[in-house]
A and B are shown apart, each in its own frame.
Chain A
Amino acid sequence: MTQPPDTPVVSTGEISSEAPVQATAAANAPTASAGGGRSFLPANTLLRHLLVLVACAVGAVVLLEITDPFTNSQLAQLTYYAIAAGGLTVLTGLNGQISLGHGALMAVGAYTTALMLDADEPLPLPVVLLAAVALATVVGALVGVAAARLHGPYLAGATLALAVGLPGLAVYYGDLFGGEQGLRVRAPRAPESFESFIDLVSGNPPSATKWLAYVGTICLLITFFLLANLVRSRIGRTWRAVRDQEVAAELAGINLGAWRVLAFVVSAACAGLAGGVLALVVRLAAPSGFTLVLSLALLTAIVIGGLGSLVGVLLGSALLVFLPPFVTDLGADLGLNSTEAAQLAPFVYGLVLVVVMIFAPAGVVGTIRMRWLTARARRAARGAGS
């Protein structure tokens, strides 16, 4: 307590330590009111997040209208990956719980959607998707209660069992779930207002693919708006506190188990919605769509992007969707036959993962944020020194 309060902030000589030292926390922005920086955006969280939401919505419409139908379908694919990975990054990045079972939670949402749309007079689409969310939330709560008592490899093992076991139920109860073939999904037709909207915006033909891409985008925007609200609030801060120091968090009055379950429930809800969107976009809910590979793909997406970062989730999901076809095309151009070109994609994906982990161990967003904080500290040090 010898240092007077006006001592230059950077006096330890270790400038790089301005950023959080843990790579796992590097991509976490501080909660809204605890952030110190100036911003041109309003201080009111709701207003700020709504502004960003509107900007993103406009950007999404432009993107969907300037790209061809194939890219539209790829973007639709991106939306369900990002919704699920968004939930997972909250669970793993902010709360420190790993889950290998999110593919299975997506299956819950997908089958719910498929079965409800199969009815003679299906309910409106938003109701169907909300039901998918609700059911996945219930399953997530059950898993979360068990998960809250487990750590690290044990938690990974338990959720792995979910990933492997749950799709098996679809085969076992083949009469209801269609067995290995799965259920075909009857995606509802676009409403007329959508067609007139597209006509107004771009004059492009309002195809079914485009409609489903829009449905996915709307779901993605709503999910990320709500997740961003949580991340930037006391809820996100409490999750991170539980992740970093259990004993200190408990002494602050935080019930560790309850907050862990809450994180699991939130991320399961996202997985349920993602499953619902997947069922619509792929038009099929089958066990082969929800293997362990899906769960692992979600994990790699959040790690590449930067744990706990929603922007990172978008980057990671984009890589998942766009890299394989890009590499396959490249292989074909280089004179490989179609099988060889297709085999090239997982190899390059693995390579990208390794390279990112070596050069950006905190993920893309985390590494950029650390660099930025370090540069800011260096500037401050120079300012204080002169």
Chain B
Amino acid sequence: MGPLAQPPDSTSSSTPHHDRSSGARLEMTGISVSFGGVAALSDVSLTVEPGQVHGLIGPNGAGKTTLFNVACGLVRPDTGRIVWRGDELRRLRPSQLSRLGIARTLQGVGLFRGLTVLENVMVGAHRHARAGFVSALFAIPTSDRDEARLRARALAALEELEATPYAGRYPDSLPYPVQKRVALARALVSDPDLLLLDEPASGLSEDEMHELGDLIRTLSGRMSVLLVEHHMDLVMRVCDRITVLDSGQQIAAGTPAEVQADPAVTEAYLGDEVDVASDAAALTTSTDGRER
């Protein structure tokens, strides 16, 4: 039925699959971004080592989300290099991320409202789809088999996040923490090598946050994780390394212990004499505030 015999992005299956031993390392060097003359980031560098959890923290307006958006191609930096698995990423479009083995969750949840939970997660497995437009049009059994495969993948991802009972539900009918789990399942189902988590703990209770922390630790064996998060206790518990931003500048970097001991960090958060961990409580109240 026309010239488009293949679905538009079926080429995704033909791209060579990078082997993981080459190191799922994300290096960002000398990143500077300014919006209309206002510097959002100046000369920030950050490396996510393979299999590690890297935390990105800082007060509101520090530039965390901007750096995050640079990492996934939504914002193009004025200067600086992004190197993923040894290849420089240039002129990256968001739709190419998944093919490169990079998955990202959105602030909030960003689920497809008109799709069931299972369908939401199946869309996340888009890059693993094999059957194309023609087999779907004529309902050739290849299409059914491919769908069954995606469905199995999606169910496995839901199972891992204990969201299987909600498979047939629509997102808006679910409690917020469950929606967040579904969004995470949708990112994990693509089987990424790098997972970018944008405030995964916002809106979660203490217990839920604790479980999320355990989950992130489990994931770190399988993939590298870059985590933007306000909840300091979670960040301190799960991260191998932490980068601290303030007003677009990198003010500290190191292990959680090093960062916590750094006076510059304490200074950035509510002045001196307050230690970072207790400050976290004050910050949690404003976690849903959007940061630009």
Residues of A within 8 A of B (CB): 1-7, 9, 12, 14, 17-22, 24-25, 28, 30-36, 44-46, 49, 133-134, 137-138, 141, 226, 229-230, 233-235, 237-238, 240-241, 243-245, 247-256, 258-259, 261-262, 265-266, 269
A5-B95 in contact (CB<8A): no
Contact sample, A vs B, 28 pairs, CB 8 Å cutoff: A1-B162, A12-B175, A17-B170, A17-B173, A21-B113, A21-B173, A30-B119, A31-B122, A34-B116, A34-B118, A36-B116, A36-B118, A45-B143, A46-B139, A137-B3, A229-B139, A233-B131, A234-B136, A234-B150, A237-B119, A240-B115, A247-B110, A248-B106, A251-B106, A251-B187, A252-B98, A252-B126, A256-B95
Interface assignment of B178: CB less than 8 Å from any CB of chain A: yes
Question: What residues of chain A lie closer than 8 Å to B96, measured between beta carbons?
Answer: 253
Task: State whether B165 touches A30 (Cβ < 8 A).
Answer: no
Question: What residues of chain A lie closer than 8 Å to B172, measured between beta carbons?
Answer: 17, 20-21
Look across to chain B and name the residue whose beta carbon is closest to the beta carbon of A140.
B2
Given A252-B123, A262-B7, A18–B137 Cβ distance below 8 Å?
no
The stretch of B83-91, B204-212, B258-266 in contact with A is B204-212
Q: How far is the CB of A155 from chain B (nearest CB, A)?
A: 19
- Assess the A137–B2 pair: CB atoms within 8 A: yes
Q: How far is the CA of A275 from the CA of B175 in the complex (A)?
A: 48
B269 in contact (CB, < 8 A):
no
Measured between C-beta atoms, what is the minimum distance from A8 to chain B in Å?
9
Structural contact, A9 and B169, CB atoms closer than 8 A: yes
Residue of B nearest to A261 (CB): B8
Report Cα–Cα, A21/B8, bound state, in Å: 30
With both beta carbons as reference points, the residue of chain A lying nearest to B215 in the complex is identified as A1
Given contacts A21-B170, A44-B141, A248 and B146 within 8 Å (CB-CB): no
> How far apart are A26's CB and chain B's nearest CB, in angstroms?
8
How far in angstroms is the closest Cβ of chain A from B281? Answer: 20
**Which residues of the partner chain B approach A233 to less than 8 Å between Cβ atoms?**
131, 136, 139, 143, 147
How many Å lie between the Cα of A24 and that of B115 in the bound state? 12
Give the residues in chain B near A262, CB-CB below 8 Å.
Answer: 4, 7-8, 133
Within 8 A of A (CB), among B149-163: 150-151, 161-163
Q: Which of B98, B122, B136, B167 has the most CB of A within 10 A?
A: B136
Q: Which 4 A-B pairs have the closest CB atoms?
A: A25-B114, A258-B8, A253-B98, A233-B136
- Are B170's CB and A20's CB within 8 A? yes
B98 contacts across to A, CB distance below 8 A: 251-253
Cα–Cα, bound, A3→B161 (Å): 11
B204 proximity list for chain A (CB < 8 A): 1
Known contacts A2-B207, A241-B112, A245-B111: A31-B119 contact under CB 8 Å? yes
* Cα–Cα, bound, A14→B9 (Å): 39
Cβ B144 vs Cβ A5 within 8 A: no
Interface residues of B (CB under 8 A from A): 1-4, 7-9, 12, 72, 93-99, 103-104, 106, 110-116, 118-119, 122-124, 126-127, 129, 131, 133, 136-141, 143-144, 146-148, 150-151, 161-170, 172-175, 177-178, 181, 186-187, 190, 204-205, 207-208, 211-212, 215
Q: What residue of chain A has the Cβ atom nearest to residue B175's Cβ?
A: A12
Q: In the complex, what distance in Å separates the CA atom of A163 from the CA atom of B114?
A: 30
Contacts A46-B139, A240-B114, A253-B95; A235 near B7 (Cβ below 8 A): yes
**Using Cβ atoms and an 8 Å threshold, which residues of chain B touch A230?**
136-137
Complex-state Cα separation, A134 to B3, whole angstroms: 9
**Nearest B-chain residue to A130, judged by Cβ:** B1
A33-B146 Cα distance, complex, nearest whole Å: 10
Whether the pair B143, A18 counts as a contact (CB closer than 8 A) is no
If A226-B137, A234-B131 touch, does A243 touch B114 (CB 8 Å cutoff)?
Answer: yes
Chain B residues with CB under 8 A of A17? 170, 172-173
* Cβ distance A163 to chain B, nearest Cβ, rounded Å: 21
Contact partner, B112, options A4, A134, A248, A256, Cβ 8 Å: A248
Decide: A18 near B2, CB < 8 A? Known: A31-B119, A251-B106: no
Q: Which residues of A contact B8 (CB under 8 A)?
A: 255, 258-259, 261-262
Q: Do residues B147 and A252 form an inter-chain contact, with CB atoms below 8 A?
A: no
Other A-B pairs beyond A2-B205, A9-B165, 12, CB < 8 Å: A17-B173, A20-B114, A45-B144, A137-B3, A141-B2, A226-B137, A235-B137, A237-B123, A253-B126, A258-B8, A258-B9, A259-B9
CA of A226 to CA of B155 in the docked complex: distance in angstroms?
28
Most chain B Cβ neighbours within 10 Å, of A4, A138, A250: A250
**A5 and B162 in contact, given A21-B172, A34-B151 (Cβ under 8 angstroms):** yes
Instruction: Please give, as numbers and ranges, the residues of chain B lying within 8 Å of A30 by CB-CB distance.
Output: 115-116, 118-119, 168
With both chains docked as a complex, state the minimum distance between the C-beta of B93 and any C-beta of chain A, in angstroms: 8
Q: Which residue of A lies closest to B150 (CB)?
A: A234
A134 contact set on B, CB distance < 8 A: 2
